[in-house]
Amino acid sequence: MQSRTPQFLRSSRGRLKIVRRGAVGLFATVALFAFAQQQQTQEPSQQRPAHPEKPVLLPITNRLPDANDQMEMHQQQSKKEKVEVANSMRLKQISDDAARLLELATELKTAVDKTNKDTLSVDVIRKADTIERLAKGVKEKMKLTVGAG
């Protein structure tokens, strides 16, 4: 009847290899534990700071822009300038329309004051219609934002 012991354990060399491996593993574990203890017990002045005084410069984040990057930045700047011009034009149109609204409203008020309580002239109705269309246009322009999103 054969024993269940593997062949390498039957020889003295096999047992010696196992003992050596165990000793090396045990030594590595003890050395690692001692190193960890030493790091924890060091004084704060001896430990390395979490944030070094000199910043770490990564090549990707600190590289100079290439031709494609420069072109993209130029396009973004150009787009921003176009948006600013469009917004300033829209603001000027709103201001002009508001001034025109004030003028028409004043004219309508004086025209209504001159009429009788029973009659309304066609001119008064036209001015009221013009004021209404102009007011709706101003409202829509105020809602509009060029370059949002």
The angle subtended at Cα 87 by Cα 84 and Cα 92, nearest 5°, is 125
Inform me whether the pLDDT recorded for 67 exceeds 90: no
**pLDDT higher at 94 or 57:** 94
Return the pLDDT at 96.
Answer: 93
* Confidence bin at 149 (pLDDT 50/70/90): very low
C-beta of residue 7 within 8 angstroms of C-beta of residue 14: yes
Q: Which two tokens stand for residue 39?
A: 């790091």
- Gap between the Cα atoms of 81 and 87, Å rounded: 10
- Average pLDDT of the chain is 78
End-to-end CA distance of the chain: 85
In order of 64, 126, 132, 143, the CA distances from 129 in angstroms are 60, 5, 5, 22
- Gap between the Cα atoms of 83 and 81, Å rounded: 5
Among 51-65, 70-84, 90-104, the range of highest mean pLDDT: 90-104
Q: Report which of 138, 145, 139, 142 is spatially closest to residue 84, judged by C-alpha positions.
A: 145
C-beta of residue 19 within 8 angstroms of C-beta of residue 8: no
**For 96-110, 113-127, 129-143, which range has the lowest pLDDT when averaged over its residues?**
113-127
Phi, psi of 61 (to 5 degrees): -80, -20
Phi, psi of 89 (to 5 degrees): -65, -40
Return the pLDDT at 8.
Answer: 56
Residue 42 Cα to chain centre, angstroms: 42
Among 35-44, 70-79, 137-146, the range of highest mean pLDDT: 70-79
* Confidence bin at 73 (pLDDT 50/70/90): confident
